């Protein structure tokens, strides 16, 4: 089987041939990045080591392509100004500098960017500042002002490249109200991208007279690209619906799902997605021929160009990033506490752990709520806190997102629904050599397995979905459906994200503006020394009964 790197290498060669064979016609090269999330340099701030990613490496590819061909359109599909300590410090501890990502992308002469959901994480003031500092438009035709329905951002651009008139329609995932608290997005609403595109693609075609229409969307496909079966994410991903239901789209430039999707045709419409963090650059070469006075697509090829170690770091982007990078690295190495023993993470989705309890305990202390809910957010090989000094970098790895803390009021029935959804994480349970072997549910993101502190319960993974939560208690007594509680939870969960629809619409009784990660950092600083303490308030254990022939245990008098 050919590796992706080999396919990329072959694709690069084919592009040169494609362009050379295109004499007598115009070739336009469309380049796309997406989900950069503040990754300017090839550096992993959480692990403090180099990484094959970053806008600076992508920039080297961009400049090389521009030397090769004059007809280049450079676009980004959003989630740009959040995700690294560079952007966090700029947003939360601002100085007089422009937004680092806006500055770097402006230097690279981006033509446009679609607005992503994470653009709203720091609120509209931070978003609008970065938008104003960019030399290119931020597009989102389906983000509307709630007061009058007018567009909150530019809807599209029309660029003439090599004599060809190209329209770029910008769209955003409509699921932002499910993730983002209203205070971060005041006065805004989101239209279904399909509805928006049905209205505007004909305008680009018939009024603007575009020869080619590209949709630049911060959203991904909501179907399995092999089987075309729905994957259940249509609330946030609308690309398949666009390809199916909106005539006149020539290219879908996608994002949001952090997937590397080589050029693929969906309902005949080509789409591409270059992963995340600048790990790849999407390149699409479109050959046009002039037929009867109008430009028509004669051929279209695309590939993903990876940011491997062979790709140089662009000096101009590195210069823009330099002081922000120095500030971020110093910040990440600040000591916050000393761990007197290890806080392992390996079994955090199988049993209660001190690591997750630390976050839940922090949320309870800050809010005074009855209950707290969180998850182990890191996936893959995450080892947790090691014994010794805990630095800020360690807390970033534990809690990488800028989630804020909300307290909602719920009843016992809602709590049961929430926990039953979390218990869906166990896709199968079998006994092998006397051990219970669990497999996660296919397609369920591991960080969507949340656990609750303040209640006692048992999860039976062998029971049917919806009936797995057993022995649910609160303060030592069985929980009743009508019991009322306050629950501390991150702002995304409070909106019903991750399948926790039972929380959507719950009454908000408190909002804490500080990020949860900062609250954990403050708690660690306050403690100075921390020991791993776990109360084991929840366990994974199937139902067990005494066999009829087995003697009952005797209680001594």
pTM of the predicted model as reported, rounded to 2 decimal places: 0.87
Rounded Cα distance, 430 and 232, in Å: 26
Is there a shared CATH topology between the 4-328 domain and the 336-540 domain?
no
CA atoms within 13 A on the CB side of 21: 12
DSSP-assigned letters across all residues of 519-547: HHHHHHHHHSEE-------EEE-------
Q: What CATH fold (topology level) applies to the domain 4-328?
A: Purple Acid Phosphatase; chain A, domain 2 (3.60.21)
Rounded Cα distance, 263 and 253, in Å: 10
Structural Rg of the chain based on CA atoms: 26
Cβ(230)–Cβ(237) below 8 Å: no
So where are the chain's domains? 4-328, 336-540
Rounded Cα distance, 142 and 451, in Å: 35
Cβ(389)–Cβ(338) below 8 Å: yes
Reduce the DSSP state of residue 115 to 3 states and report it: coil
Residue 102 to residues 81, 110, 430, Cα–Cα distance (Å): 8, 10, 52
CA dihedral 433, 436, 441, 444 (to 10 degrees): -130
Render each residue's pLDDT in the chain as its tens digit; 557 residues.
Answer: 334 444 444 444 345 445 443 445 899 999 999 999 999 999 999 999 999 999 999 999 999 999 999 999 999 999 999 999 999 999 999 999 999 999 999 999 999 999 999 999 999 999 999 999 999 999 999 999 999 999 999 999 999 999 999 999 999 999 999 888 889 999 999 999 999 999 999 999 999 999 999 999 999 999 999 999 998 889 999 999 999 999 999 999 999 999 999 999 999 999 999 999 999 999 999 999 998 888 999 999 999 999 999 999 999 999 999 999 999 999 999 999 999 999 999 999 999 999 999 999 999 999 999 999 999 999 888 999 999 999 999 999 999 988 899 999 999 999 999 999 999 999 999 999 989 999 999 888 899 999 999 999 999 999 999 999 999 999 999 999 999 999 999 988 998 888 899 998 899 999 998 999 999 999 999 999 999 999 999 999 999 887 776 665 665 54
User: How many residues would you count in the chain?
Assistant: 557
Residues 99-126 have pLDDT tens digits of 999 999 999 999 999 999 999 999 999 9
Backbone phi, then psi, for 230, in 5-degree steps? Answer: -60, 145
Q: How many CB atoms lie within 10 A of CB 263?
A: 18
**316 is written with which tokens?**
């101009």
**57 is written with which tokens?**
């490496």
**173 is written with which tokens?**
């995932």
CA dihedral 506, 511, 512, 515 (to 10 degrees): 50
Backbone phi, then psi, for 282, in 5-degree steps? Answer: -85, 130
Task: Enumerate the β-bridge partners of residue 31.
Answer: 74, 283
Q: What is the pLDDT of residue 178?
A: 85
* DSSP label at residue 227: T
Max distance between CA atoms of the chain, in angstroms, equals 102
**553 is written with which tokens?**
């245990």
Q: What is the pLDDT of residue 453?
A: 98
Q: What superfamily in CATH does domain 336-540 come from? A: 5'-Nucleotidase, C-terminal domain (3.90.780.10)
Residues 371-402 have pLDDT tens digits of 999 999 998 889 999 999 999 999 999 999 88
Task: Enumerate the β-bridge partners of residue 373.
Answer: 452
């Amino acid at each position: 089987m050919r590796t992706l790197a080999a396919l990329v290498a072959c694709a690069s060669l084919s592009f040169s041939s494609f362009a050379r064979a295109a004499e007598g016609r115009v070739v336009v090269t469309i380049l796309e990045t997406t989900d950069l999330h503040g990754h300017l340099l090839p550096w992993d701030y959480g692990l403090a080591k180099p990484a094959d990613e970053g806008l600076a490496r992508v920039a080297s590819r961009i400049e090389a392509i521009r030397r090769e061909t004059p007809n280049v359109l450079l676009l980004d599909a959003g989630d740009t100004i959040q995700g690294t300590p560079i952007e966090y410090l700029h947003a939360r501890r601002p100085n007089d500098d422009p937004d680092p990502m806006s500055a770097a992308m402006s230097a690279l002469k981006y033509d446009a960017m679609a607005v992503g959901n994470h653009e709203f994480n720091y609120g509209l003031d931070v978003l609008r500042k970065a938008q104003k500092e960019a030399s290119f438009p931020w597009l989102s035709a389906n983000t509307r002002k709630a007061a009058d329905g007018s567009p909150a951002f530019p809807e599209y651009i029309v660029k003439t490249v090599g004599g060809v008139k190209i329209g770029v329609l910008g769209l955003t995932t409509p699921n932002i109200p499910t993730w983002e608290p209203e205070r971060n997005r005041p006065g805004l609403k989101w239209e279904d991208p399909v509805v928006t595109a049905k209205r505007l693609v004909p305008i680009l075609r018939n009024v603007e007279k575009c020869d080619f229409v590209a949709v630049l969307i911060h959203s991904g496909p909501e179907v399995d690209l092999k089987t075309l079966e729905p994957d259940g994410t249509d609330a946030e991903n609308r690309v398949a619906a666009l390809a199916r239901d909106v005539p006149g789209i020539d290219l879908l430039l996608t994002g949001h799902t952090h997937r590397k999707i080589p050029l693929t045709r969906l309902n005949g419409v080509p789409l591409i997605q270059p992963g995340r963090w600048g790990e790849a650059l999407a390149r699409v070469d479109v050959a046009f021929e002039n037929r009867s006075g109008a430009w028509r697509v004669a051929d279209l090829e695309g590939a993903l160009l990876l940011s491997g170690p062979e790709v140089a770091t662009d000096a101009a982007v590195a210069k823009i990033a330099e002081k922000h990078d120095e500030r971020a690295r110093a910040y990440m190495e600040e000591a916050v506490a000393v761990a007197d023993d290890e806080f392992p993470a390996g079994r955090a989705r199988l049993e209660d752990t001190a690591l997750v309890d630390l976050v839940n305990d922090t949320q309870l202390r800050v809010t005074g709520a009855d209950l707290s809910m969180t998850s182990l957010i890191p996936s893959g090989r995450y080892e947790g806190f090691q014994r010794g000094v805990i630095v800020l970098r360690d807390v970033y790895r534990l809690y990488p997102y800028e989630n804020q803390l909300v307290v909602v009021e719920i009843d016992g029935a809602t709590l049961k629904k929430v926990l039953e959804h979390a218990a869906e994480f166990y896709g199968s349970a079998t006994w092998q050599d006397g051990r219970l072997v669990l497999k996660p549910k296919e397609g369920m993101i591991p960080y969507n397995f949340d656990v609750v502190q303040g209640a006692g319960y048992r999860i039976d993974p062998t029971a049917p979905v919806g009936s797995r939560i057993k022995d649910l208690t609160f303060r030592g007594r069985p929980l009743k459906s009508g019991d009322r509680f306050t629950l501390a939870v991150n702002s995304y969960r409070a909106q019903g994200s991750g399948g926790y629809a039972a929380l959507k619409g719950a009454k908000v009784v408190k909002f804490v503006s500080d990020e949860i990660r900062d609250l954990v950092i403050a708690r660690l600083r306050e403690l100075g020394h921390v020991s791993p303490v776990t109360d084991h308030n929840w366990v994974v254990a199937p139902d067990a009964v005494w066999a009829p022939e087995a003697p009952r245990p005797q209680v001594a008098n």
